[in-house]
Amino acid sequence: MPTTIVPVPVMPAPPVAGAAFLIGTIVIMTGILLWWALGGERKRQGWVLPLIFAGTALSAVMIEPVYDNTLLYWYPDVNNLAFFRAYDRTIPWFVPLGYAWFFGGSAYLVWRVIEGGASTAKIWKLFAATAVVDWLAVSICEWLNLSAFYGNQPFHIFGSPIWFSFCDATGGFVLGAALAVFMPYLKGAKRLWLLILPSFTYASTLGSTTAPVSLALNSGWSTPVVWAGGTATMLMCMIAIHVIAQMSDARQKANA
C-alpha cells in the first residue's frame, strides 16, 4: 500500500494567544530556576538543573521538526514568534523553552525521586501526573490554534491525543533514569555532557515508543489499525515506566 501524504493545515498564528503562551512558559521556567537558585538544590547539586534545561532546549532544535513530520504535528507557517524553520516546520520560541521546563524539570524531579528510592507506586503516580500536565499544555496549544495534531489520530477525542502525552512523559522519565545512572560519573567539567544527553534520551524514547502509531499514521492503514498502533505506543511507554519503577524500587530496598 502506498504511503499516504496528509496535507498540513495552513493558517497564521494568533499573535495574542501566542504571546500569552510564551509569557506563561517563561514564567514557569523562571519560577523553577528561582527555586533552584534560592533553595538548597543549587548547593547540593550544583549547575545540574540549568545544564539539563539547556540540553533539553537544544534537543528541541534537533528533534522537534523531525517528529512533527512523522507524528503529523503542525505549527502555523506565518508566526511572529518563530524561532527557526526546518524540515517544513516553523518552530516558535515557546517550544525550546517548553522543552526546558517540562522535559528538563520532570527529568530532574524523576532523578531526585529515584535517588531517594521511591516506591513503584510513587513512580507510577508521578508518571500519571506528568502525563496529565503534558496533555493539558499540548491541549491548550490546540485550543488556542498555536499548534495541533492532524490526520487520522487515534485517541484524539478531547484536547490532544492521549498517546502523545504518554510518550512525552516517558521521555522525561527516561532522561531522569539516565541521570540516576550517569550522574555518579559526571563530576566537574564532565557535567557538560548534560548538554547532549537529553537529545539522545528523548530522540530514542520518542522514536521507539511512537513507531507503531507513526507507521500507522503515515501508511494509509485503516482506522482500527491506527488505533491499535496508538494502543501499542502507550503499552511501550508503560513498559519503560515499569522498568524505571523497578529500578527505583530496588534502590529503595537497598537503602532500607
Indicate the helix (H) or strand (E) that contains 204: helix 197-209
pLDDT score of 4 more than 90: no
pLDDT digits (tens, 9 = 90+) for 24-63: 999 999 999 999 999 888 999 999 999 999 999 999 999 9
This prediction has a pTM of 0.92
Assess contact for 179 and 107: CB atoms under 8 A: yes
Indicate the helix (H) or strand (E) that contains 105: helix 105-115
Interatomic CA distance for residues 5 and 211, integer angstroms: 17
Assess contact for 161 and 155: CB atoms under 8 A: yes
Interatomic CA distance for residues 221 and 119, integer angstroms: 40
pLDDT digits (tens, 9 = 90+) for 52-92: 999 999 999 999 999 999 999 999 998 999 999 999 999 99
pLDDT digits (tens, 9 = 90+) for 86-116: 999 999 999 999 999 999 999 999 999 999 8
Interatomic CA distance for residues 174 and 206, integer angstroms: 10
- What pLDDT is recorded for position 111? 96
pLDDT score of 12 more than 90: no
Cell of 199: 537529545
Interatomic CA distance for residues 120 and 243, integer angstroms: 10
- List the one residue out of 94, 84, 205, 214 whose CA is nearest residue 144: 94
Interatomic CA distance for residues 189 and 172, integer angstroms: 24
Tell me the mean pLDDT in the region 12-20. Answer: 91
